[in-house]
Structure 1
Amino acid sequence: MTTAQFDCQYCTASLLGKKYVLKNDNPYCVSCYDRIFSNYCEECKEPIESGSKDLGYKGRHWHEACFNCAKCNHSLVEKPFAAKDERLLCSECYSNECSCKCFHCKRTIMPGSRKMEFKGNYWHETCFVCEHCRQPIGTKPLISKESGNYCVPCFEKAFAHYCSFCKKVITSGGITFHDQPWHKECFLCSSCRKELCEEEFMSRDDYPFCLDCYNHLYAKKCAACTKSITGLRGAKFICFQDRQWHSECFNCGKCSVSLVGEGFLTQNKEIFCRKCGSGLETDI
C-alpha cells in the first residue's frame, strides 16, 4: 500500500503513525470505526469502542463492566448464567427466582441439570426412582399409585392382578366377575364374543353372556307376550306350574285385570280372574 493510499476509508485522514482498525481489509481511524461499527451496550446504551471488550449473547452486546446479573449485579463474565424475560441472571438468582423444586427432596433443580416431569411435578433425575427397587426410572415405562411410582417389573411383582382370560397382567382398569379380574377387552360374551364391559349381561354356570345370547339360549319365555324373562333391574315375574309371566303380563285373559297377588282360575292355558272364570273347574 502506498503512502497516498494509506488513509482512513471513511474520512480519508492519513493513518501514518496513527492507530487504526482493519475492517474487511479496509483501514479506518479509531474514531470512524467506533462511530460506524461499534455495537451499543444493552445496559448503559453507550457504544462499545474498539478498545473495549465486546461481550455478546444472542445478538445483544455489553461492555465487560456492564455484563452483570440483573438481580444481584454480580459480574457474569466467565460465569454460568441464564436468561429470563430478556434479563440475564446468575445461577443462584435464577434458581431462587425461576427454578422449580424437586417433588422428592424439595431442593432446587439447578439450571442446566436434567429434570424429570410427571403429572405436573418435577424431580431431579436421581430422585425420580422406583418406590420399590429405588432404581432411577428415567424415560422407562412406569405405573403410578398413591404410594408412589413403580417400574413395570416391580409393580407386577407387588400389585398386579392377572386376567382370568388371557393370564396377562392388568396394569390399569379392568373389571371383576365372580371375584376374578379381567381386562375390559377380555370380558366377552361366552357365546358371540361381544365385549361386555359397557353392556348389561347375564351369568349362566359362572359364564357371562350378552342379553341377546342369554335370551336365545337360556331365558324362559313369558306365557302371555312370549318375550324373554331375564329378571334384570329387579323385574318381577310369576311362575305357575311349568309356565312363567312378566308381572305386568299376568292378567286375566278376558278383562285384562292384573292377577298379581290375587286368586285366579285356569282353563287349559288361559288364566282368569274369579269373576270372569266363575264356573271353571280349576280354582287357584
Structure 2
Amino acid sequence: MASNHCHYCMESLLGRRYAFREENSYCVTCYDGLFANSCEECKKPIECDAKDLAYKGRHWHEACFKCAKCNHSLVEKPFAAKDELLLCTQCYSNEYSSKCFHCQKVIMPGSRKMEFKGSCWHETCFVCQYCRQPLGTNPLITKDNENYCVPCFEKQFAHHCYSCKKMITTGGVTYHDQSWHKECFLCAGCKKQLSGQKFISKDDHPYCLDCFRKLYAKKCAACNKPITAELSGWRKETSGVPQGSI
C-alpha cells in the first residue's frame, strides 16, 4: 500500500503527484532524480510523466525518437540500426542497401535479390536479354555484359559443329568457313585430331602430313617411300588452301 510520504525525501504526498516503484512511493522530483533514464538524443531525463521509448538498452523521449538521417519520427514505424544510429527503412536503403545492376534502383531490405558475378539485381530485373523471361537460378550465358538463357543464346549466337551438329560453347576450329569442335576436327585418313597440328587439304578434306604422304604422294619405284620433294611442290601449288596449325 502506498505511503503518504515520499520514500526518499519523506515529504508529504497528500495533494501532490507521485510515482510508485517497488512498493515505494516517490514524489515526482525524487523519482525523476533517482530513476529517470537519460534520453540518447537530448541527454535530458525522461520524466515519469513522459513516454520512455527503449531499444537495446537505450532510451529516448517520444519526440526525440527520430531517423538520424531525415529526422522523421520513428514512433510505431519500422527502422534499422547502423553504427548505433537509428534510420528509417528508406534512408537505410539509400545509404547501405545494394543497387540493382540493371535499373540502378535500391534493392529494398526484405525483397528478394539475385547475385551474379559480384553484382545484384531485383528478381524482376534479372531476365534473359532476348526473351525477357526471369533467369532465376537457371543456367545462363553472358555475352557483352548481357545475360541470356541457354536456348536464346544458342538461337542468337552459338555456332554448331559441322561434324556433330552440337553447340560449340568454347574454343573451336574454323575450316572452309565451317565451325568444328576441336575434338571433331579429324584427319580424313587416320581420324586423329588435327587441332594444333599441321595438315593439308585435298578435295575439301583435311589430312595429317603422314596420311597425305601415304595416300597422295608419289612413291619411289626403288624404295617405295613417298617422294617428299614432290609433296613440297604440291603444297606450293595449292598455296591458297588452308595449311599449318589451327
TM range (shorter): 0.5 to 0.7
- Write out aligned runs for 1:147-162 (5 A): 148-162=146-160
The residue type equivalent to 1:176 in the other structure is: V
Aligned partner (choices 87, 101, 104) of residue 102 of structure 2: 104
Aligned partner (choices 227, 238, 242) of residue 242 of structure 1: 227
Q: Which residue of 1 aligns with 2:234?
A: none
Distance in 1 of aligned mates of 2:133 and 2:180: 29
Distance 1:90 1:160, change over 3 A: same
Cα deviations across residues 51-75 of structure 1 (Å, max 9, x unaligned)?
Answer: 5444344454323221101122110
Distance in 2 of aligned mates of 1:189 and 1:34: 93
Distance 1:159 1:46, change over 3 A: same
Equivalent position SS for 1:65: helix
Cα deviations across residues 85-139 of structure 1 (Å, max 9, x unaligned)?
Answer: 4322223434444455434334443343333343454432212211122122223
Q: Is the 8 A contact 1:34 1:50 kept in 2?
A: yes
* Structure ranking higher in helix proportion: 2
- Write out aligned runs for 1:1-284 (5 A): 19-22=19-22, 27=23, 29=25, 39-48=37-46, 51-146=49-144, 148-163=146-161, 167-171=165-169, 173-178=170-175, 179-182=178-181, 186=183, 200-203=196-199, 206=205, 217-218=210-211, 242=227
**How much does 1:155 deviate?**
1.8
Distance 1:218 1:170, change over 3 A: closer
Q: Is the 8 A contact 1:188 1:208 kept in 2?
A: no
Distance in 1 of aligned mates of 2:98 and 2:124: 15
Q: Determine which structure has greater relative contact order: mean sequence separation of CA pairs < 8 Å that are 6+ residues apart, divided by chain length.
A: 2
Distance in 2 of aligned mates of 1:20 and 1:180: 89
Equivalent position SS for 1:201: coil
Distance 1:139 1:45, change over 3 A: farther
Cα deviations across residues 241-268 of structure 1 (Å, max 9, x unaligned)?
Answer: 9355xxxxxxxxxxxxxxxxxxxxxxxx
- Report the number of matched residues: 204
Distance 1:157 1:35, change over 3 A: farther
Equivalent position SS for 2:198: strand
Stretches of structure 1 lacking an aligned partner (at least 5 in a row): 221-240, 245-284
Distance in 1 of aligned mates of 2:54 and 2:167: 57
Distance in 2 of aligned mates of 1:48 and 1:74: 20
**How much does 1:193 deviate?**
7.2
Q: Is the 8 A contact 1:162 1:169 kept in 2?
A: yes
Q: What is the TM-score normalised by the length of structure 2?
A: 0.58
Q: Sequence identity of aligned pairs in percent?
A: 56
Q: Which residue of 1 aligns with 2:216?
A: none
Q: Is the 8 A contact 2:173 2:185 kept in 1?
A: no
Distance 1:243 1:95, change over 3 A: closer
Across the aligned residues of Structure 1 and Structure 2, the Cα RMSD in angstroms comes to 4.5
Cα deviations across residues 182-222 of structure 1 (Å, max 9, x unaligned)?
Answer: 2x6x468777978x87xx4233665686xxxx6xx5597xx
Q: Is the 8 A contact 1:42 1:60 kept in 2?
A: yes
Q: What is the TM-score normalised by the length of structure 1?
A: 0.52
